[in-house]
């Protein structure tokens, strides 16, 4: 008797867990579908808006480019430079034990361009704009400004999401190039001192280690990261509800999810591309 009760309790709790997991999964799939729909709709507006007399405003795009890209330059620059320098330090000290410290320059160049340059740019943009975008759209949602757009016959996706997407697609590659260059520069600053080579030699060795595919790979990644941040941030903004607390939750969720999305996407990229 007692045994069956215990088994029953066990079965119900198991059922609850599976149900919860199932619900989460369905919600995840829904989120993914919503993001995909946002992407498609934005692209439609960007391409067809002109003909439908519902154009995506250049003014709005420029504004987004400023806040997403231009104002992110100092942070990206500092992080990339420091990161490059740290890689040089770690690389030189570790490889010295194997007597392979001269290979450190090639190592810095390759890992920066293939991996860390774009990752730094992506994480900075996710942290800065992922929160800002979610907060802005979330505020508009809660104060019914999104409803106001819709009843005016203005698509919120065209008006709010499309300019962000365009700005991301332009600014992410540029920030990535900046990030790559400064990380290599940062690595150079330390290597030149520690390895007693001239800056020219450093640059020569760094460039020699790079193939054009590495740069292409980094730029493609930057575009994907831009799309991910846009979709995660805007969809979290649109789904904000429940006053100031809900807004805070949406903003936090947006930053956490966009950084996670970037890192996971990067891992998948690396898995397939470095084989």
Residues forming the site for another protein (CB under 8 A): 52, 54, 139-140, 143-145, 147-148, 150-154
Residue entry with tokens 């002109």: 50
- DSSP 3-state assignment of 37? helix
Please state the closest distance from residue 68 (CB atom) to another protein, in A. 16
The least CB distance from residue 149 to another protein, in Å, is 8
d(CA 229, CA 31): 14
- How near is the Cβ of 230 to another protein at its closest, in Å? 19
CA distance 141 to 239: 8
* CA-CA-CA-CA torsion sign (36, 42, 47, 48): positive
Per the CB < 8 A criterion, the answer to whether 108 and 202 are in contact is no
Nearest residue (CB) to another protein, 139 versus 252 = 139
d(CA 88, CA 188): 8
Q: Which is nearer to another protein, 154 or 211 (CB)?
A: 154
CB closer to another protein, 145 vs 194: 145
Q: Could you give the CA distance from residue 22 to residue 6 in angstroms, rounded to a whole number?
A: 24
Closest CB to another protein among residues 148, 193: 148
Distance, CA of 260 to CA of 265 (rounded, Å): 8
Phi, psi angle pair for 41, to nearest 5°: -65, -40
CA dist 211 and 213 (Å) reads: 5
| Residue placing its CB nearer to another protein in the complex, 88 or 140 | 140
Minimum distance from residue 20 beta carbon to another protein (Å):
16
Taking the complex as a whole, how short is the minimal distance between the CB of residue 66 and another protein, in angstroms? Answer: 14
Q: For another protein, which is the closer residue by CB, 80 or 146?
A: 146
Least separation, in Å, of the C-beta of 223 and another protein?
28
183's tokens: 């990380």
Spatial separation of the C-alpha atoms in residues 125 and 128, rounded to whole Å: 5
In the complex with another protein, the residue whose CB is nearer, 90 or 143, is 143
Work out how close the CB of 93 gets to another protein at its nearest, in angstroms, rounded to a whole number.
50
Place of tokens 């054009």: 212
């Amino acid at each position: 008797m007692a045994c069956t009760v215990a088994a029953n309790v066990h079965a119900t709790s198991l059922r609850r867990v599976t149900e919860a997991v199932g619900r989460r999964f369905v919600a995840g799939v829904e989120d993914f579908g919503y993001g995909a729909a946002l992407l498609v709709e934005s692209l439609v507006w960007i391409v067809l808006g002109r003909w439908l007399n519902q154009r995506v405003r250049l003014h709005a795009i420029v504004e987004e480019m400023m806040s997403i890209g231009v104002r992110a330059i100092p942070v990206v620059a500092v992080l990339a430079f420091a990161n490059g320098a740290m890689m040089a330090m770690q690389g030189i000290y570790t490889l010295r034990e194997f007597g392979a410290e001269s290979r450190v320059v090639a190592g810095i160049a390759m890992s920066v361009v293939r991996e860390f340059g774009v990752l730094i740019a992506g994480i900075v943009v996710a942290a800065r704009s992922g929160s800002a975008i979610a907060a802005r759209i979330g505020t508009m949602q809660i104060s019914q400004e999104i409803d106001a757009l819709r009843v005016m016959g203005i698509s919120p996706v065209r008006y709010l999401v499309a300019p962000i997407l365009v700005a991301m697609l332009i600014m992410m590659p540029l920030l990535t190039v900046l990030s790559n260059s400064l990380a290599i520069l940062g690595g150079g600053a330390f290597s030149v001192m520690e390895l007693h080579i001239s800056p020219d030699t450093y640059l020569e060795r760094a460039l020699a280690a790079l193939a054009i595919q590495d740069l292409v790979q980094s730029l493609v990644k930057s575009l994907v990261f831009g799309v991910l941040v846009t979709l995660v941030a805007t969809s979290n903004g649109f789904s904000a509800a429940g006053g100031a607390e809900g807004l805070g939750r949406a903003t936090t969720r947006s930053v956490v999810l966009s950084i996670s999305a970037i890192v996971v996407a990067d891992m998948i990229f690396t898995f397939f591309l470095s084989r």
